[in-house]
Structures are given as structure tokens and as C-alpha cells.
Amino acid sequence: MGKRKSTESSLPTFFDPDDRATRRLRRQRALFIPKYLQQEAVGAHLAIAAQENAFKIATQWAGLETSGALAQHKETSIDTQFLDQLFGTGLGYRVKTASPNAWELEHKFTVAGVGTAPTAAPAYP
């Protein structure tokens, strides 16, 4: 049986390595999936200043989740703030009212047989 390759990296991360074990114990899903964050970070779709702003906003939200501050609120009461701050301000997604012919973010999208869901499409090509 082969050895497992190390996934350690010198890149900055949102997660403390011990955090994964804690989430497993609590049977709680992560707000951001570390594997996908690392994959997307390699692509560097944003300019440095925009990337730093997006990282600041994402770490703020990760900190709110880690501290338990988000658990005090119903998801539906803060979902618009999350979408506006992270996807709008941080990642540059546009809403219909700001860009009627080329938008990527819709706060409530109706899915037949399911209901409404917040949605976003990639802002980069």
C-alpha cells in the first residue's frame, strides 16, 4: 500500500488543521470546503488588491462562523448580507439592477419543485 501524499502547503489557509477534526466531531459541514478553496486559489482570478479584499471578507465570515456568531441567526435573515458582501463586494458579482444585461448574482432563484435558493454564477471567464 502506497503512502499518502502530503497536502501540506505554504499557501495561506482559512482553516486551522485541527478545525477539520472538530467539525467531524460536531458533524457540522464547513462553510467553505478547503479542498475547493485551494484549487481555486491556484487560478488567481482576481487582481492582488481585489484578491486581498475578497480574502478579508471571506475570513471575516469564517471568523463569524468559528466564533458561533452565525448560529445565533436564522440563515434566511443573513443570506442576503452574505451574498452581497462575499460575492458582490468581494468577488465582483453583479446584480440585475446594477447590470441588467450582464448579471451573475440573484438573491432568490426559484427552482421548480424545490423552492427558492440564493444563486451566483462565476464572474470570471
pLDDT digits (tens, 9 = 90+) for 9-31: 555 565 566 665 555 555 556 66
Q: What is the per-residue pLDDT for 61? A: 93
The one-letter amino acid at 30: A
Q: What is the per-residue pLDDT for 41? A: 72
Q: Where do we find the cell 462562523?
A: 65
Does 60 score more than 90 pLDDT? yes
Q: What is the per-residue pLDDT for 85? A: 92
Judged by phi (left if over 0) then psi (alpha if -120 to 50, else beta), residue 30 lies in beta
Q: Which is higher by pLDDT, 54 or 119?
A: 54
Q: Which is higher by pLDDT, 29 or 90?
A: 90
Contact assessment for residue 11 and residue 41, using Cβ atoms and an 8 Å cutoff: yes
The mean pLDDT of 109-114, rounded to a whole number, is: 79
Question: Mean pLDDT for the chain?
Answer: 75
Q: What is the per-residue pLDDT for 81? A: 92
- pTM, 2 dp: 0.54
